[in-house]
């Protein structure tokens, strides 16, 4: 049975953001068009970020899918690693602040930035 690879940005037990990949089963539909189960969503937003955009470290307020529609988006973690996402790529952003924690920009969250000459255009779908 085919599956869809969900790239997940999550908060690990130590409070730091990390990446993992997990499969989503495509076990519905027809053999020529496999589908996942229907997932609930809480609405969506579109965002346009001009060249030069860069955020500071922050946590995701509400878990959400992030789809790159145009340009490129880089996500950086506290450990110094980063990943670049291009048009057609996605990730599920769920690195929320641990319950009871006060935000510490030296421990929690991630930063994001627009990469290259083209504006960054993203679609956020709340989970």
pLDDT, tens digit (0-9, with 9 covering 90-100), for 2-48: 999 999 999 999 999 999 999 999 999 999 999 999 999 999 999 99
**Structure confidence at residue 53 as a pLDDT band (50, 70, 90):** very high
92 Cβ partners below 8 Å, 6+ apart? 6, 7, 8, 9, 63, 64, 65, 66, 127
DSSP state for residue 39 in the 8-state scheme: -
Q: Give the total number of structural domains in the chain.
A: 1
pLDDT, tens digit (0-9, with 9 covering 90-100), for 82-127: 999 999 999 999 999 999 999 999 999 999 999 999 999 999 999 8
* pTM reported for the whole predicted model: 0.92
State percent of the chain over pLDDT 70. 100
Which domain range does residue 32 map to? 3-126
Burial category of 14 from C-beta neighbours within 10 Å (exposed 0-12, middle 13-18, buried 19 and up): exposed
| Residue labelled with tokens 């579109």 | 46
| Residue labelled with tokens 């009871």 | 100
pLDDT at 1 over 90: no
Please tell me the predicted confidence (pLDDT) of residue 127: 87
CATH number at residue 33: 2.60.120.10
């Amino acid at each position: 049975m085919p599956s869809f690879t969900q790239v997940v940005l999550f908060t690990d037990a130590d409070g730091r953001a990390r990446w993992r990949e997990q499969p989503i089963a495509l076990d519905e539909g027809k053999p020529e068009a496999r589908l996942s189960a229907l997932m609930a969503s809480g609405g969506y937003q579109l965002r346009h970020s001009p060249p030069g955009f860069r955020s500071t470290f922050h946590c995701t307020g509400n878990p959400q899918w992030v789809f790159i529609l145009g340009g490129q988006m880089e996500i950086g973690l506290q450990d110094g690693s980063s990943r670049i996402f291009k048009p057609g790529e996605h990730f599920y952003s769920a690195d929320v602040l641990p319950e009871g924690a006060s935000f510490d920009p030296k421990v929690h969250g991630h930063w994001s930035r627009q990469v290259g000459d083209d504006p960054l255009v993203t679609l956020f779908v709340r989970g």
